[in-house]
Amino acid sequence: MKTERKHINLFEDKEIRCYKTVFNITNEEDLLQWWEYNMENSIDKYPNSIKFLHALYRSCFHFVENRKTQFDIIFEKSAQNVYWTLWAQDEIHDININCTQFQGITSMKKDKRISFQLSTQLKTTTQEPIKTEVTLNIKTAAVELRVYNFLDEDDKFHLRELNEELNEELVYLEGKGFCKKSIDKIQQLLAQYSLTLSPYREIYHIKQSIDELAYFMSEHKQMLTELDKSYVSLFEGLILNLRKWFEALFIHGAGSIEAYKKSISADVEIIKAMTLQQDDDEGEIEFF
C-alpha cells in the first residue's frame, strides 16, 4: 500500500517523492553551491525555472554578502511539480517575491517558510522582459565594511568610464534588443575592462570571469543576436553587478572581494547557459 510522504513545502502535494535536497545557507559559499546545483540539475529539466532561480539567487546573495544569517533551501519533486522552500533558522520578518513575472511559478508563505511551486508540464515560451522584484528583510548583524585602495587612480577612472559605457549599451539593448553592433560593443568594453584589471592579482578571478564572457560572445555572436529581447535582463544583472562591485570595493566599502567574485561568475554562467539553451530549444522540449 502506498503511504503518504512527508513534505516540507506548503502546497501539501500528496505525490511528493521520498527524497529531498537540503542546502543550509550560512554564507556566500553555501549559496554558490546551491546555485551550482541548479546549474547542473535545473537548466535542462526545468528551463522555465532559470530566470526565477537567478532572481532568487541574486536577492539572497545581497543579504548574505555583508551579513551573517542562516536559512535552509529545500528542493522537492512530485510527478507534476517541483518545489523550492526557504525555511529560516533565524528570524525572517518578510519575504515577498512577485511570482507573476515568472512563467508557471506560484508561492505560499506561512510563519518562517515560503514555498515556490513550478509545474513540470509547462513548455518553454517567450517571456516579456523581466524586472525582478524581490524583498527579503532578514534580522542579522552587519559586518565591518572596507574600502580597498590597491587600484591605481587612472585605472579607477577608466573603470568608472567603462561602467558608464556599459550602462549606455544596456539602455540601447532594452530599447532595441540584440543586434551585432551591440554585441560587438559590449564585447569590446568587457575586453577593456579585463585589460584594466589585469595588473591586480587581488581581483584576478573577476578578470577571468569577464574574459570568459568576452570570449564566449566572440564565439557565439550569431546566437546572441537571435536572442529574444527578454534575455536583456541577464545582461542587465551582470552590468549592474559590475558597477555595484566597483563602487562597493573602491568607493563605499565592501565585506569581501570573494563574495563579488562568486556573484559575477554566476552572472556569466547564467548568460552562457541561457544562450546555449535557446539554441537547443529550437526543437520541442519535453519534460519528464
pLDDT on residue 190: 93
- What is the rounded average pLDDT for all residues in the chain? 77
pLDDT on residue 123: 56
Contact present, 20 and 76 (Cβ < 8 Å): yes
Would you kindly state where each structural domain of the chain is located, as residue ranges? 21-142, 153-280
* Nearest by Cα to 47 from 119, 97, 100: 119
- Cα(200)–Cα(25) distance, integer angstroms: 31
How far are the Cα atoms of 5, 19, 25, 109, 113 from residue 72, in angstroms, in the given order? 20, 16, 6, 15, 10
- In the predicted model, residues of the chain with pLDDT beneath 50 are 1-2, 124-143, 283-288
Instruction: Write the DSSP symbol of residue 150.
Output: -
**Cβ neighbours around 12 below 10 Å, total:** 10
**Cβ neighbours around 70 below 10 Å, total:** 15
pLDDT in tens, 180-226: 999 999 999 999 999 999 888 888 889 999 999 999 999 999 999 88
pLDDT on residue 66: 53
